[in-house]
């Protein structure tokens, strides 16, 4: 290899390393100007790492719960299958929030972007209230409908009840990450999932030791809750381009309808894809 080629290779590696650090740093970038390839790279790296984290919760739960017996493992699998409904709604809302926020950020209107984000949160809270109450009361019936044995229902109902009761953290974790991605700050979305998973991995074996299968649900809910707290801090107190204040939560029916119109198609798309793979 010639000296010129070696120099170019060294420069390329340094540039790649610099862009990689920049992608993870969380610094605000104006993606509406400059190189499209650079913008795609800076957005894709944290988003890929974020996607890797989203599927780890159930894997961690099954790994630690596996020591409790086949009924416990069956409960985790069946509950996660039903929670696909919650994930579908959360992802649909997340897609809508990303689209609405990204449009306003592209228009250089961060105030309207923050208002759209607040209305998306309002809508998610309403939907989650219905899901949480229904899932909490019907946890044993949900497991029976999924084909669980009487022993699995008796063992796993508390686990299912806790996860459905705490589904607000699932909804907000997906939704607020969509808001940050729309604002061009995908690194915060990534770090929220890393923090949430880290807490879950630490808490799961400890709480399972003391509370059995319920401990896994408590650990997962707490882990996601910590990730949501990290998100909320950056939404309300952070220095990013998007910052929410209390007045933005005043209901705006027109904006909520616009978000719903986008969200239901994303929800249906994810639900069909998930159902076909089960």
Could you list the residue range(s) of the whole structural domain that residue 55 is in? 44-277
Q: Mind listing the pLDDT tens digit for each residue in 191-200?
A: 898 899 999 9
Q: What is the pTM of this model?
A: 0.86
Residue 184 has pLDDT above 90, yes or no: no
Query: Do residues 116 and 263 touch, judged by C-beta distance below 8 A?
Result: no
Q: What is the pLDDT of residue 11?
A: 41
- Judged by average pLDDT, the poorest of 4-8, 127-131, 157-161 is 4-8
Residue 8 lies in a domain: no
Q: Mind listing the pLDDT tens digit for each residue in 122-155?
A: 999 999 999 999 999 999 999 999 898 999 999 9
- Three-state DSSP class for residue 278: coil
The sign of the dihedral angle between the CA atoms of 269, 105, 47, 231 is negative
- Judged by average pLDDT, the poorest of 35-49, 211-225, 247-261 is 35-49
- The count of structural domains within the chain is 1
Residue 163 lies in a domain: yes
Residue 58 has pLDDT above 80, yes or no: no
Residue 79 lies in a domain: yes
Residues in Cβ contact with 106 at an 8 Å cutoff, skipping those fewer than 6 apart: 32
Residue 32 lies in a domain: no
Instruction: Decide which of 256 and 67 is more confident.
Output: 256
Residue 28 lies in a domain: no
Torsion of CA 121, 123, 125, 126, to 10 degrees: 170
Q: What is the pLDDT of residue 213?
A: 92
Burial (0-12, 13-18, 19+ Cβ within 10 Å), 183: buried
In the chain, alpha helices (H): 3-25, 36-54, 56-65, 70-82, 84-106, 110-137, 139-145, 150-165, 167-182, 186-211, 213-236, 253-277
Residue 36 lies in a domain: no
Residue 217 lies in a domain: yes
**CA-to-CA separations, 135 to 58, 128, 143, 164, in angstroms, rounded:** 18, 10, 11, 5
Q: Mind listing the pLDDT tens digit for each residue in 114-123?
A: 999 999 999 9
Residues in Cβ contact with 96 at an 8 Å cutoff, skipping those fewer than 6 apart: 120, 178, 259, 260, 262, 263, 266
Among residues 194, 152, 175, the alpha carbon closest in space to that of 244 is found at: 175
Residue 254 lies in a domain: yes
Summary mean pLDDT of the chain: 84
With bands split at pLDDT 50, 70 and 90, how would you rate the model's confidence at 35? low
């Amino acid at each position: 290899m010639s000296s010129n080629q070696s120099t170019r290779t060294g420069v390329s590696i340094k540039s790649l390393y610099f862009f990689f650090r920049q992608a993870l740093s969380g610094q605000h970038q104006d993606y509406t100007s400059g190189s499209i390839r650079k913008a795609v790279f800076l957005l894709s790296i944290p988003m890929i790492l974020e996607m890797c984290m989203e599927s780890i919760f159930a894997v961690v739960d099954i790994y630690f719960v596996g020591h409790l017996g086949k009924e416990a493992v069956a409960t985790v699998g069946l509950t996660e299958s039903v929670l696909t409904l919650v994930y579908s709604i959360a992802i649909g809302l997340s897609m809508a929030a990303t689209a609405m926020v990204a449009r306003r950020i592209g228009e250089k209107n961060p105030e309207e972007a923050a208002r759209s984000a607040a209305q998306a949160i309002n809508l998610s809270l309403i939907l989650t209230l219905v899901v949480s109450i229904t899932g909490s009361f019907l946890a044993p019936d949900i497991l029976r409908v999924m084909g669980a044995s009487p022993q699995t229902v008796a063992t796993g109902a508390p686990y299912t009840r806790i996860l459905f009761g705490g589904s607000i953290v699932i909804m907000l974790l997906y939704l607020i990450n969509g808001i940050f991605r729309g604002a061009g700050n995908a690194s915060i979305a990534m770090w929220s999932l890393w923090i949430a998973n880290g807490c879950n991995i630490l808490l799961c074996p400890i709480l399972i030791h003391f509370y059995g299968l319920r401990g896994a649900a408590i650990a997962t809910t707490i882990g996601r809750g910590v990730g949501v707290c990290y998100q909320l801090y950056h939404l309300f107190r952070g220095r990013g381009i998007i910052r929410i204040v209390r007045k933005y939560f005043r209901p705006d029916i027109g904006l909520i309808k616009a978000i719903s119109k986008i969200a239901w198609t994303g929800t249906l798309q994810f639900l069909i894809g998930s159902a076909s793979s089960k």
